[in-house]
A and B are shown apart, each in its own frame.
With several copies, the nearest count.
Chain A
Amino acid sequence: MTLRVLYFAWVRERIGIPDEEIETTAATVRAFLGELAEREERYHRVFANPEALRVAVDQRLCDLDSPLADASEIAIFPPMTGG
């Protein structure tokens, strides 16, 4: 499937783009982050430690072990610091 992938805050800065489309067969969020870490070096540096990141699938916060299922959009970012 094709996922729209969004990056925010320092994840966006380190990857260098705010969003992109990525083809994947990953079954879970964790598996997808593992695929990203295999790409170029700058991806590896960001995604090698997924516990430091937060993920929203189709705009809902979810765990690393959540299924990707029929997702169309995944956003990856640091812990939120609003308020």
Chain B
Amino acid sequence: MEIRITSDPIDPAAELAALSGVHKAAGAVVSFCGQVRSDESAPITTLEIEHYPGMTETAIAAIVAEAEARWDLLAGRVIHRHGQLSPGETIVFVATVAAHRHAALHAADFIMDYLKTRAPFWKKEHGPEGGHWVGSRTEDEAAARRWSDDS
């Protein structure tokens, strides 16, 4: 799997195009895009993402290696932004390619849960009322724990 940590915009369509119809044994290609939300109730102008260069790459590689050990994956891609993002921009793109659909779907779900809780990224939302660091969600911790409870 290809891993990229970048301050450049992510083009989900181009990333998906690079994985579709490429692998002969592939029956399923799943993509997940996490993007910057801007609800009317909590408008944001910029999402700032800080990360820990050096550790980020290692942490994502470990998550990908664990996904590859659990499911038969033919290919995939994990791309994560850092820096300043605008509403609607893609924060993270995860794609998985497998012979069977459940392997691809579950691996993407797993990678997202682990990225949320085990990769060193921090989000700060900037809006008309100033900036604040996004708190971690207990649902995210619980979601990540699903994968160790049933292994």
Tell me the A residues contacting B by CB distance below 8 Å: 6, 8-10, 12, 56, 59-61, 75, 77-83
Does B19 make an interface contact (CB < 8 A)? no
Please state if B55 and A80 are interface contacts (CB–CB under 8 Å). Answer: no
What A residues does B58 contact at CB under 8 A?
A: 59-60
Please state if A80 and B54 are interface contacts (CB–CB under 8 Å). Answer: no
Chain B residue, CB-CB nearest to A58: B55
Identify which of B49, B120, B134, B135 contacts A77 (C-beta below 8 A).
Answer: B120
Identify which of B55, B59, B112, B136 contacts A81 (C-beta below 8 A).
Answer: B136
What A residues does B52 contact at CB under 8 A?
A: 6, 8, 56, 59, 75, 77
Stretch of B37-45, B66-74, B121-129 with 4 or more beta carbons under 8 angstroms from chain A? B121-129
A–B Cβ pairs within 8 angstroms, 11 of them: A9-B133, A10-B133, A59-B52, A59-B55, A60-B55, A60-B58, A61-B59, A75-B52, A79-B136, A81-B134, A83-B116
Across chains A and B, the number of contacting residue pairs, with CB separation under 8 Å, is 73
Instruction: Provide the main secondary structure of the chain B interface.
Output: mixed
Given contacts A6-B52, A8-B50, A56-B55, contact A80 B116 (CB under 8 A): yes
Identify which of B55, B112, B122 contacts A9 (C-beta below 8 A).
Answer: B122
Among A56, A60, A83, residue most surrounded by chain B Cβ atoms (within 10 Å): A83
Does B117 make an interface contact (CB < 8 A)? yes
Does B30 make an interface contact (CB < 8 A)? no
Please state if A80 and B120 are interface contacts (CB–CB under 8 Å). Answer: yes
What B residues does A81 contact at CB under 8 A?
A: 116, 121-123, 133-136
What A residues does B115 contact at CB under 8 A?
A: 82-83
| Bound-state Cα–Cα, A8 to B121, Å | 9
Closest beta carbon of chain B to A6's beta carbon, Å: 7
Besides A77-B52, A78-B136, A82-B80, 18 more A-B contacts (Cβ < 8 Å) are A6-B52, A59-B52, A60-B55, A75-B52, A78-B133, A79-B141, A80-B116, A80-B117, A81-B121, A81-B135, A81-B136, A82-B51, A82-B92, A82-B115, A82-B116, A82-B123, A83-B91, A83-B92
